[in-house]
Amino acid sequence: MRFLNEPQYDLTYSDVFMAPSRSGVSSRLQVDLTSTDALATPLPLVVANMTAVSGRRMAETVARRGGIAIIPQDIPAAVVGGTIAKVKASHTIFDTAVTVTPSTTTGEAMSLLTKRSHGVVVVVEDGHPIGLVGAAETAETDRFTQVHEVMSTDLLLVSPDDAPETVFEQLLERHQQVAIAVRDGQLVGVMTSRGALRSTIYQPAVDSQGQLRVGAAVGINGDVTGRAEQLLRAGADVLVVDTAHGHQEKMIESLARIREVRDQLAGEVGRIPLVAGNVVTREGVADLVEVGADVIKVGVGPGAMCTTRMQTGVGRPQFTAVLECAEAAREAGASVWADGGVRHPRDVALALAAGAGSVMIGSWLAGTHESTGDQRTDAEGRSYKESFGMASARAVKNRTREQSAFERARAGLFEEGISSSRMYIDPQRPGVEDLLDFITSGVRSSCTYAGAASLPEFHDRAVVGIQSPSGYEEGRPLHASWS
Ligand SMILES: NC(=O)C1=CN([C@@H]2O[C@H](COP(=O)(O)OP(=O)(O)OC[C@H]3O[C@@H](n4cnc5c(N)ncnc54)[C@H](OP(=O)(O)O)[C@@H]3O)[C@@H](O)[C@H]2O)C=CC1
Ligand SMILES: Nc1nc2c(ncn2[C@@H]2O[C@H](COP(=O)(O)O)[C@@H](O)[C@H]2O)c(=O)[nH]1
């Protein structure tokens, strides 16, 4: 990456723009988005280890499209083990169906509809799909009606081995919303026509067994090696050792011990990459790589739920932090994840141009069907989910649940995050895959503007300039007339 005009100060994503260059890449579909970090996922996107964001549904949906989610450190290891097992058992192409039994009430079925983005609930009997219900089937019923009374039985049953193009054509021909995949009569999963299209654009992120990949986080307090061992044995594909101030002795000691466990188990579970952070300086990167991190998580204070910079004055504008840390990591034979502060597809593109191997996103994904929270409605009828920071009083209270009431109350005074925030569901993009489409189409396009067919080429070729606030403002679309 080169600058058009040399920066005199540290830069945020909003401070910079990319200039187009002569390009030989004639289609956005030609761009290979494989991440340049030790995980080499087909999509360079990571779901942040935030309790309000990353759980089973998020993990399997994102991995099916090539990214990876990290299950947070506050979830007990045994529960994370169960989540990993379910993600690994999910189909890599067909979406997991939301299922009910014939006697379920329509009220209950409707409450489950927003758990996934495909818009229907499948009615099963002994594992066989016998009907489906969606908004159309339940529109005129009271909420105590049982689903077998209103379900549609005109089902498009397909084989899990059918090509997505074939499924797409069948859905179009029969004017149906979802196809149901069955093997030996048993439900395997569902596919919408948009899901069929996506399956031809994205590659799933899979492990050596061909199962979806998922990661898990470990903090630096408590029995860190015990938790690391449990997560590795449960099948985690990456361990993220995570704390606010990643450049501290306790992190270095914990990481060294976790690395030992990882190396001891390598014969059984393979050599699992270690990610550690968060840091924003070359020195931080060097110290964590030295002790064994394959990937360094970069970002102090850019997160949407973060109050660190306002409370402490500590942090660093994220574009410069990523640029400098990515260079330091490359020199040391490692790579970085740009963590936090992503609000638009352009921010992901800029982080990758700066040399990030992957980009970690939290709050933006909180307002989707697949995040962990329950969907709520505000006084104006808008749907939202609640989000909160991992250093908020709410998260600290949860993390310290085994300590005394006094210790918990005292820890709660040291909050550095927002305890309750509303992440509205965008009616245009209510599912995480809608956001992935939005982000990846932007990033693919950025690469072609730079003449890059892959992310290493993108980093090499990107030309970045510094802009004024009015330069940034000029680029914002106007949804209403301005006079
Ligand atoms: N990227 C970012 O900017 C930030 C991210 N976070 C996220 O929040 C989650 C919780 O992290 P964390 O708050 O570290 O909690 P942890 O539970 O991981 O504990 C942090 C440990 O580090 C010690 N510590 C020393 N200095 C600091 C400091 N300046 N800030 C915080 N802890 C410090 C704490 O001791 P003691 O409590 O006694 O001081 C505690 O033992 C993580 O997921 C982290 O990534 C949190 C803040 C900033
Ligand atoms: N200072 C704080 N940082 C936090 C907190 N919770 C999470 N985070 C960091 O933010 C990113 C995600 O950023 P986003 O803009 O995509 O939401 C996450 O990975 C953490 O590093 C917090 O309570 N305080």
Say how far apart CA 78 and CA 461 lie, in whole Å: 45
pLDDT score at 140: 82
The ligand minimizing its distance to the Cα of 47 is 2
Q: Tell me: the pLDDT tens digits for 114-130?
A: 899 999 999 999 999 99
Closest residue by CA, ligand 2 atom 10: 303
Q: What is the DSSP letter of 375?
A: P
pLDDT score at 320: 98
* Pocket of ligand 1 contains residue 306 by CB under 6 Å: yes
What spatial distance separates the first Cα and last Cα of the chain, rounded to whole Å? 39
Q: Tell me: the pLDDT tens digits for 77-112?
A: 999 999 999 999 999 999 999 999 999 999 999 999
Closest residue by CA, ligand 1 atom 40: 221
Q: Are 205 and 67 in contact (CB under 8 A)?
A: yes
Closest residue by CA, ligand 1 atom 29: 245
User: Can you say which residues are annotated as belonging to the binding site for K(+)?
Assistant: 301, 303, 306
pTM of the full structure: 0.96
Closest residue by CA, ligand 2 atom 19: 48
Q: Tell me: the pLDDT tens digits for 240-250?
A: 999 999 999 99
* Pocket of ligand 1 contains residue 284 by CB under 6 Å: no
pLDDT score at 194: 96
For a pocket test of ligand 1, which of 221, 243, 361, 410 has the largest count of ligand atoms closer than 8 A to its C-beta?
243
For ligand 2, the distance from its centroid to the CA atom of residue 292, given in whole angstroms, is 24
Q: Are 77 and 227 in contact (CB under 8 A)?
A: yes
Q: Counting Cβ atoms within 10 Å, is residue 247 exposed (0-12), middle (13-18) or buried (19+)? A: buried
pLDDT score at 479: 86
Q: Which atom of ligand 1 is nearest to the CA of 73?
A: 43
pLDDT score at 141: 86
User: Can you say which residues are annotated as belonging to the binding site?
Assistant: 242-244, 299-301, 303, 306
For ligand 2, the distance from its centroid to the CA atom of residue 306, given in whole angstroms, is 6
- Identify the CA nearest to 278 among candidates 255, 256, 259: 255
Q: Counting Cβ atoms within 10 Å, is residue 170 exposed (0-12), middle (13-18) or buried (19+)? A: middle
pLDDT score at 58: 98
For ligand 2, the distance from its centroid to the CA atom of residue 54, given in whole angstroms, is 13
Place of tokens 């009997």: 125
Cα-to-chain-centroid distance, residue 48 = 6
Which residues form the pocket of ligand 2, taking CB atoms under 6 Å from any ligand atom?
48, 50, 278, 299, 301, 303-306, 308, 339-342, 360-364, 389-392, 416-417
Q: Tell me: the pLDDT tens digits for 47-56?
A: 999 999 999 9
The ligand minimizing its distance to the Cα of 253 is 1
pLDDT score at 413: 83
Tell me the sheet residues that pair with 71.
216
For ligand 2, the distance from its centroid to the CA atom of residue 344, given in whole angstroms, is 16
pLDDT score at 411: 83
Q: Which atom of ligand 2 is nearest to the CA of 366?
A: 17
User: Which pLDDT tens digits describe the chain residue by residue (483 residues)?
Assistant: 999 999 999 999 999 999 999 999 999 999 999 999 999 999 999 999 999 999 999 999 999 999 999 999 999 999 999 999 999 999 999 999 999 999 999 999 999 998 999 999 999 999 999 999 998 888 888 889 999 999 999 999 999 999 999 999 999 999 999 999 999 999 999 999 999 999 999 999 999 999 999 999 999 999 999 999 999 999 999 999 999 999 999 999 999 999 999 999 999 999 999 999 999 999 999 999 999 999 999 999 999 999 999 999 999 999 999 999 999 999 999 999 999 999 999 999 999 999 999 999 999 999 999 999 889 999 999 999 999 999 998 898 888 888 888 888 888 888 899 998 999 999 999 999 999 999 999 999 999 999 999 999 999 999 999 999 999 999 999 988 987
Q: Choose the catalytic residue: 1, 113, 298, 306.
A: 306
Helix, strand, coil percentages (3-state) for the chain, rounded to 5, are 40, 20, 40
Enumerate domains of the chain plus CATH numbers: 2-92+205-474 (3.20.20.70), 99-200 (3.10.580.10)
User: Can you say which residues are annotated as belonging to the binding site for NADP(+)?
Assistant: 242-244, 299-301
Q: Which atom of ligand 2 is nearest to the CA of 415?
A: 23
* Pocket of ligand 1 contains residue 415 by CB under 6 Å: no
* Pocket of ligand 1 contains residue 308 by CB under 6 Å: yes
The ligand minimizing its distance to the Cα of 70 is 2
Handedness of CA 332, 335, 337, 338 (dihedral sign): positive
Establish whether 306 is a catalytic residue: yes
How large a percentage of the chain has pLDDT more than 70?
A: 100
Q: Are 337 and 21 in contact (CB under 8 A)?
A: no
- Identify the CA nearest to 241 among candidates 257, 404, 230, 233: 257
User: Can you say which residues are annotated as belonging to the binding site for NAD(+)?
Assistant: 242-244, 299-301
Q: Which atom of ligand 1 is nearest to the CA of 302?
A: 3
Q: Tell me: the pLDDT tens digits for 260-306?
A: 999 999 999 999 999 999 999 999 999 999 999 999 999 999 999 99
For ligand 1, the distance from its centroid to the CA atom of residue 97, given in whole angstroms, is 38
For ligand 2, the distance from its centroid to the CA atom of residue 416, given in whole angstroms, is 10
Closest residue by CA, ligand 1 atom 48: 244
pLDDT score at 220: 96
pLDDT score at 401: 81
For ligand 1, the distance from its centroid to the CA atom of residue 417, given in whole angstroms, is 11
pLDDT score at 139: 84
